[in-house]
Amino acid sequence: MERSIKQFETDRLESAKLAAKLILASGTTSPRVGGVGECTIHTFDDPCDIEDICQEVEHMAELKENWNFFKRDAAILRDADVLMIATSLRCVVDPADINCNMCGKLVCEYFKEEEKLPDDPEIAFRGPLCIFRANNISYAIDGMMSQARNLGIDYGVYWSAGAAAMRMKLLPKNTGFALGMGISVTEKSPFRDIPANYADINQRTMNDRIIKRLWPQFRSIYS
């Protein structure tokens, strides 16, 4: 029985990793405006790597009151089997040169001359960004979500994870915008029907409370 359960857990995790490759393929082949390659997708399936990103997300939550919900994001992403990050590489350094005005500038030359936001801890993405190019990341994410739905894989999209991965320099140098997508192969989706205070009350915190509360008594009784 124990061996069967261990095998199920191994197969479950392997299925999540296999699904991540297919999801990456779908996000990569999703149409781009202009048909130009400017998005990349990066996969993190090592629990230690996911934990490092979650800790950075929690650190960012302490920097800004408006980012307090990042603590909940971190708690949710810890339950993910795989974390995927989709990037937009050209939106910060290479505008589309079509003078679409979506960035607020009359022509793209004015965008190129605009000074970027400072490298400040309270700034998530150092814009201004070429919105026309940044929008391409939505096509990648849509392709990833569509594939996840086709495969029956639970998923959730979090911009906090993308910002954290950028700060940790885990993504290509020219990344101007990034979004994270957690996927999971579990009986209950870790990304849906989550209470607002999930950062404080989740399986890990409850286990810690039980162990910390009962272990001293157990040790004293049986020592």
Backbone angles phi, psi at 180, to 5 degrees: -100, 150
Do 40 and 150 reside in the same domain of the chain? Answer: yes
Structural domains in the chain (count): 2
Residue with tokens 């992403």: 77
Which DSSP string corresponds to 206-218? HHHHHHHHHHHHH
pLDDT digits (tens, 9 = 90+) for 121-132: 999 999 899 999
Q: What per-residue confidence (pLDDT) applies to 157? A: 98
Residue 148 has pLDDT above 90, yes or no: yes
Do 145 and 219 reside in the same domain of the chain? Answer: no
Do 156 and 220 reside in the same domain of the chain? Answer: no
Do 208 and 165 reside in the same domain of the chain? Answer: no
Residue with tokens 């920097």: 63
Do 132 and 31 reside in the same domain of the chain? Answer: yes
User: Which residues is 87 bridged to in the sheet?
Assistant: 40, 178
Contact (CB, 8 A) for 41 and 157: no
Residue 223's pLDDT band, with cuts at 50, 70 and 90, is low
Residue 215 has pLDDT above 90, yes or no: no
Where residue 180 sits, what CATH number does that domain have?
3.40.109.10
Q: Encoding tokens for residue 20?
A: 């991540």
Strands of 62-173 (E only): list them.
82-88, 154-158
Contact (CB, 8 A) for 58 and 70: yes
Mean pLDDT of 44-63: 97
Q: Provide the b/e sequence for 112-127 (b: ≥16 CB within 10 Å).
A: eeeeeeeeeeeebbeb
Residue 154's pLDDT band, with cuts at 50, 70 and 90, is very high
Do 209 and 177 reside in the same domain of the chain? Answer: no
Contact (CB, 8 A) for 122 and 64: yes
Do 210 and 134 reside in the same domain of the chain? Answer: no
Domain that holds residue 52: 2-192
Do 156 and 208 reside in the same domain of the chain? Answer: no
Q: How many CB atoms lie within 10 A of CB 32?
A: 17
Mean pLDDT of 145-153: 97
Contact (CB, 8 A) for 40 and 172: yes
Percent of the chain with pLDDT over 90: 69
Give the residue among 134, 137, 116 at the shortest CA–CA distance from 126: 116
Q: What per-residue confidence (pLDDT) applies to 204? A: 82
Do 145 and 65 reside in the same domain of the chain? Answer: yes
Do 123 and 36 reside in the same domain of the chain? Answer: yes
Do 223 and 134 reside in the same domain of the chain? Answer: no
Do 117 and 36 reside in the same domain of the chain? Answer: yes
